[in-house]
Amino acid sequence: MTPVENSTIGIVGAGAMGQGIAQIAAVAGYAVRLMDIDAAARTRAVENISAILNKLSSKGKLEAADVTTALGRIQTVGAVSELSECNLVVEAIVERLDVKRSLFAQLEDVVREDAVLVSNTSSLSITAIAAGCRRPDRVAGFHFFNPVPLMKVVEIVRGLQSSNQTIEYLVAIAGRFGHKAVECRDMPGFIVNHAGRALNTEGLRIVQEGVTDEKTVDEIVREQMGFRMGPFELLDLTGLDVSHPVMESIYRQFYDEPRFRPSPITAIRLAGGVLGRKSGSGFYGYDNGAKILPPSQSPLESAPVANQPVWVSSRHADEGRLVRDLLQSFGVEIEDGTTPTERALIVVTPLGEDATSCAVSEKLDATRLIAIDTLLGLDRGVRRVIMPTPATQEEVVGRVKTLFSMDGTPVSIIRDSGGFVAQRIVASIVNTACEIAQQRIASPEHIDEAVRLGLGYPLGPLAFGGRIGAQRILTVLKGLLAVYADPRYRPGVWLSRRASLGLPLTMID
Ligand code: NAI
């Protein structure tokens, strides 16, 4: 087997990714041969790595002597033939199958018999790259994230013919780099780009449906769901020139899977060159890199609370109790009856349904009815989201907003939506991760780790689903399916079986 400790690592492509990989390999003690056809790119790469390592040293994170030693381990080369001594070659050149295949063929002609060849591709099939090789068993994917030294996870992608030895070697090397290795099968998007579909596509879907504006979706995702960034902030950061083609490509590669359906919103923006931060404006405006917040589009504001009791539906018993307890803690009068009196404000707590279906199915007066999202609890400081039916009086909306802000917690008002904002995004994220597990693309543990480290979600999606409860996620999806009749919301069998049997979402069968 190829030695893990004394390997010489070749890196082809000294761009953003190649530089990062060269840096972590050299710091981990490996001899690095950094190859690029462009001499200027080679020089730039070494300058950049040197600047980063010196900065780390000035912050006390690296000894000055270690910087010199690490830089001394990196040798730049201009031709594939100079990679003949390498035990491992990492390809990080342009994202084109024909160019990568031709490079792998050249590499096979020069490297040792036991050398491992990997691609850092994020969107091409590893099996397709390996198909041009004489020895596809020693080819695999080694997919790092940008910036490589900070994103401490790497997807190890098993092509159809990758050998176990190749995969084990890469796992060991990743460990030496200080990166968490997550293994997956060669399927579109691997783990992270597959699991990451739900946040953006569902966020876009919500806005396209007119439920609310982009800023409100982002606020809800950050302040109710606890994510670092909302989908529109993320799209602005990545740029639609990258994100929209990826959305289209993964959708097509899964043969028009409705869960991944892209949005005309991003298609039109891309066509208009409104790409995000890199073009100076996106879903938000930018002034010298600082986000300019658009004014809130919600026409509804708080209204004074009249001396009016509140009746809370018990259709979902736990959710109803949560609302009653909160309002009682504010001193609000709660009606106890099985039906509301004529005077009462009516609050419902749907899971997946919209406010209108609740009014209809529970035979309640829609003009006095408001729904509140309880999926993630109603803790103080965690943004609350309420939604009226199209028939709810504006005054009622204002009053209910005032009630739910009585402890200073921010409240967003959205238009009627199956599953509000958080329920439909959370359920889509969990359902997508369950589908990755069901298809045996990766283990539940690696799915959660890949998403947490690669996408920065506060919890892995299966752990998140477990915390909320598989049964509740299933209820949300069934509600969404009933409201929209769109197969994108169909629950996968991994989720529905585990929810029905009371098993954890991480359980492998
Ligand atoms: P880049 O454009 O910054 O750098 C590519 C480098 O490869 C350039 O310096 C170019 O001169 C060199 N190059 C092109 N063809 C070559 C050849 N035949 N032989 C030797 N050198 C060649 O690209 P970047 O962003 O570093 O991406 C590289 C690969 O990593 C792509 O496959 C990309 O899909 C993948 N990737 C990129 C990520 C990112 O965020 N930038 C994230 C994960 C993967």
Q: How far is CA 133 from the centre of its chain?
A: 33
Element (H, E) at 285: strand 285-287
- Supply angle C-alpha 316, 319, 324, rounded to 5: 115
**Which protein residue has the closest C-alpha to ligand 1 atom 23?**
15
| Residue 305 confidence (pLDDT) above 90 | no
Residue given tokens 């979902």 in the structure block:
316
pLDDT tens digits for range 484-506 = 999 999 999 999 999 999 999 99
Catalytic residue among 7, 87, 120, 122: 122
The residue from 119, 120, 162, 193 that is catalytic is 193
Selecting among 91, 119, 120, 143, the annotated active-site residue is 143
pLDDT tens for 67-100 read 999 999 999 999 999 999 999 999 999 999 999 9
Please state, as a whole number, how many other Cβ atoms lie within 10 Å of the Cβ of residue 295. 7
Ligand 1: distance of its center to the CA of 447 in Å? 26
Q: Name the closest-CA residue to atom 29, ligand 1.
A: 92
Catalytic residue check, 122: yes
Contacts of 405 (CB under 8 A, 6+ apart): 302, 384, 411
Residue pLDDT, tens place only, 13-46? 999 999 999 999 999 999 999 999 999 999 999 9
Strands 384-388 and 369-372 come out as antiparallel
- Which protein residue's CA is at the shortest distance from atom 39 of ligand 1? 146
d(CA 504, ligand 1 centre) in Å: 40
* Per-residue pLDDT at 298: 56
Q: How many angstroms separate the alpha carbon of residue 257 from the centre of ligand 1?
A: 29
The neighbour count for residue 279, using CB atoms within 10 Å, is 16
Q: Where are the alpha helices (DSSP H) in 307-421?
A: 317-329, 355-361, 394-404
Indicate the average pLDDT of the chain: 96
Has 143 been annotated as catalytic?
A: yes
Q: What are phi and psi of 260, to 5 degrees?
A: -105, 10
- Do the Cβ atoms of 76 and 37 come closer than 8 Å? no
pLDDT tens-digit series, residues 149-196: 999 999 999 999 999 999 999 999 999 999 999 999 999 999 999 999
The answer to whether 457 touches 467, Cβ cutoff 8 Å, is no
**Residue 396 CB contacts under 8 Å (≥ 6 apart), including other chains:** 345, 367, 368, 369, 370, 388
17: CA distance to ligand 1 center in Å?
A: 6
Q: Give me ligand 1 centre to Cα 12, in Å.
A: 8
- The whole-number pLDDT of residue 1 equals 60
- Told to judge if 307 belongs to the known catalytic residues of this protein, a careful annotator would answer no
Please name the residue that has the structure tokens 């990766």: 442
Instruction: Identify the residue whose tokens are 């997946």.
Output: 352
pLDDT tens digits for 237-249? 999 999 999 999 9
C-alpha dist (Å) from residue 481 to 251, 281, 491: 20, 35, 9
Q: Residue 155 catalytic? A: yes
**Ligand 1: which of 34, 36, 103 to mutate, most ligand atoms within 8 Å of CB?**
36
Task: Examine the pLDDT at 299 and tell me if it is beyond 80.
Answer: no
Who lines ligand 1 at CB under 6 A? Answer: 12-18, 35-38, 41, 92-95, 99, 103, 120-122, 145-146
Whether omega before 388 lies within 30 degrees of 0, making that bond cis, reads no
For ligand 1, atom 14, name the residue with the nearest CA.
Answer: 93
Mutation test residue for ligand 1: of 93, 96, 179, the one with most atoms within 8 Å of CB? 93
Q: Amino acid identity of 452?
A: R
Q: How many CB atoms lie within 10 A of CB 486?
A: 14
Q: Looking at residues 106-115, what average pLDDT do you find? A: 96
Whether 166 and 116 have beta carbons less than 8 Å apart is answered as yes
Q: Which H/E stretch holds residue 167? A: helix 164-177
CA quadruple 79, 169, 177, 508: dihedral positive or negative?
A: positive
Query: How remote is the CA of residue 25 from the centroid of ligand 1, in Å?
Result: 17
Helix axes 422-438, 214-223, angle to 10 degrees: 70
Cα 259 from Cα 199, distance rounded (Å): 11
Of 252, 187, 246, nearest in space to 441 by CA: 187
In the predicted model, is pLDDT for residue 286 greater than 70? yes
CA of 196 to the centre of ligand 1 (A): 22
The residue whose CA is least distant from atom 1 of ligand 1 is 15
Question: Any idea which residue has 């198909």 for tokens?
Answer: 131
pTM, full prediction: 0.96
For 310, residues 6+ apart whose C-beta sits below 8 A from its C-beta are 327, 332, 333, 334, 335, 344, 345, 346, 347, 403
What is the maximal distance between C-alpha atoms in the chain?
85
464: left (phi > 0), else alpha (psi -120 to 50), else beta? alpha
Bridge-based pairing of strands 411-413 and 285-287 is unpaired
Residue 270 pLDDT class (50, 70, 90 cuts): very high
> Tens of pLDDT along 421-459?
999 999 999 999 999 999 999 999 999 999 999 999 999
Helices (H), 347-492: 355-361, 394-404, 422-438, 444-455, 461-468, 470-484
Closest CA to 259 of 421, 433, 423: 433
DSSP state letter for 80? G
Strand order through the sheet with 345-348:
334-335, 310-312, 345-348, 369-372, 384-388, 411-413
Q: For residues 355 and 358, give the distance between their C-alpha atoms in angstroms, rounded to a whole number.
A: 5
Catalytic residue among 155, 183, 233, 449: 155
Ligand 1 atom, smallest distance to 123 CA: 34
* For ligand 1, atom 30: residue with the closest CA: 92
